[in-house]
Structure 1
Amino acid sequence: MELVYKIQLTAERLFSCFGVKSVTMDDVAKEISISKKTLYKCFRDKESLVMCTIESHMQETEQAIDEIIAVEENPIYQLYKITQYIIGKQRRFSPSMMYDLKKYHPSSFQIFEKHRSSHIVNHIKQNIELGRNTGHYRNDFDSQVIAHSFSMLSFSVFESIELNSLEIAQNDLVIEIIRYHLRGISTFEGLKIVDEIDWKSKS
């Protein structure tokens, strides 16, 4: 199991740096100084290795988000801290990673999409409910519709390769989407908090 974990971590690092398509099973084996035969004993093919790294990534993200939610009672700061965490993770990823997944590993991409459409949307809905209870969010919108539209809009940034040709940093675009979302659903009290936050802070 220790070797499997080492392979998975190595593959995730290589996929993050160079994209999924560019990294071969040979590359992974050479990186950790094992034979291809040993590698294929642990993972039957590249697809299974990609699937493993995606599942590990989702579990790690879910755990981190749960920890933020458990300690942060203010819904706006909660979403801010989640955004900072996600941006921190995305800095490690090649811009082509999501595109490669979608085009060359559709099964793994579908698992990622299912996670997004269930766990992430549920987190946003819970955040909206919390914000309404604390008086930071308005009550005159459909939380289901807003949660899904926010999820699709924010994740489209990570899936797009068109950003490479634009003079817009991916992280800046994500931050503006979050602010756009919050300014659209916040009460006057909520807007004051949105405006107080240093959104460009890396802390």
Structure 2
Amino acid sequence: MKDKIIEKSNELFLNLGFKSVTMDEIANSLGISKKTLYKHFNNKTALIDAVTHHMFDTICCSIDQVCEQKMNPIDEMFHIKKVVMEHLKDEKSSPLYQLQKYYPAIYASLKKKQFHMVQKTIQDNLQRGIEGGLFRSQIDVDFISRIYFNGMIGIKDQQLFPLQKYAMNTLMNYYLEYHLRSISTLKGLTQLEHQLKNNQL
């Protein structure tokens, strides 16, 4: 039952937002009583904490599966973006922004985990890109990985990029192209153009 609660809550939170969804609505959508819901989660904050970290672990697993394929680093970045967006369903409610605003402690914990995951993934991607001649050899791998993470957090800021103007998938596409163009060699740019054509960005 606990897994079902997390799964349904995740769906509701992504579509409607952390703030909007009530414990009553979650219980009703599952066809259970609030008593049963509270048996597994003491309050809404505890449920949100479980849901967000479950989603993080799920996305990390999918990213790891992409990385295990050892495709060229530019193709890898597009595949990672694709699996992330499949899990987040284009973030109609901008959940990360709502998490930061209404549940800052959970947001801080999640951001710390995200940073370490992104650092590891992007630094490996950058290093392989340099070795394969796709990325410029003089780039600072640590600096670029941190800038990349900062930018990914930045595009989720609704004050800077309101959802009414920018769909999250569009922002991800723009940012990924921006990132790759800034570090690619001529060989890398050729591969990037191939990906952009295939993805019709």
Alignment TM-score > 0.5, same fold: yes
Cα shift at 1:175: 1.0
The separation in 1 between residues aligned to 2:134 and 2:94, in whole angstroms, is 37
Aligned residues: 200
Cα shift at 1:168: 3.4
Instruction: State the Cα deviation string for residues 138-163 of structure 1 (Å, max 9, x = none).
Output: 12121111101111112222242543
Equivalent residues in 2 for 1:8-157, closer than 5 Å: 8-157=6-155
Q: TM-score, normalised by structure 1?
A: 0.91
Instruction: State the Cα deviation string for residues 60-119 of structure 1 (Å, max 9, x = none).
Output: 110100100111321110111111222333335333422221111112111220122111
Amino acid at match of 2:148: F
Q: 1:161 to 1:27 in 2, by over 3 A?
A: farther
Instruction: State the Cα deviation string for residues 166-196 of structure 1 (Å, max 9, x = none).
Output: 6333322211211111111111111110011
Amino acid at match of 2:84: I
Cα shift at 1:4: 0.2
Say whether the 8 Å CA contact 1:135–1:190 is kept in structure 2.
yes
Cα shift at 1:121: 1.7
The separation in 2 between residues aligned to 1:18 and 1:7, in whole angstroms, is 16
Amino acid at match of 2:183: I
In structure 1, stretches of 5+ residues that fail to align are none
The separation in 1 between residues aligned to 2:6 and 2:38, in whole angstroms, is 13
Matched position secondary structure for 1:110:
helix
The separation in 2 between residues aligned to 1:144 and 1:38, in whole angstroms, is 47
The separation in 1 between residues aligned to 2:147 and 2:76, in whole angstroms, is 19
In structure 2, stretches of 5+ residues that fail to align are none
Cα shift at 1:165: 6.5
Q: 1:195 to 1:131 in 2, by over 3 A?
A: same
Say whether the 8 Å CA contact 2:17–2:95 is kept in structure 1.
yes
Instruction: State the Cα deviation string for residues 25-81 of structure 1 (Å, max 9, x = none).
Output: 111111111111111110011111001111110111101001001113211101111
The separation in 1 between residues aligned to 2:32 and 2:22, in whole angstroms, is 14
Runs of 4+ deviating beyond 6 Å: none
Cα shift at 1:19: 0.2
The separation in 1 between residues aligned to 2:93 and 2:148, in whole angstroms, is 21
The separation in 2 between residues aligned to 1:92 and 1:197, in whole angstroms, is 20
Say whether the 8 Å CA contact 2:14–2:89 is kept in structure 1.
no
Q: 1:116 to 1:187 in 2, by over 3 A?
A: same
Matched position secondary structure for 1:128:
helix
The separation in 2 between residues aligned to 1:165 and 1:67, in whole angstroms, is 30
Q: 1:184 to 1:60 in 2, by over 3 A?
A: same
Q: TM-score, normalised by structure 2?
A: 0.92
Indicate the RMSD between aligned Cα atoms, in angstroms.
1.8
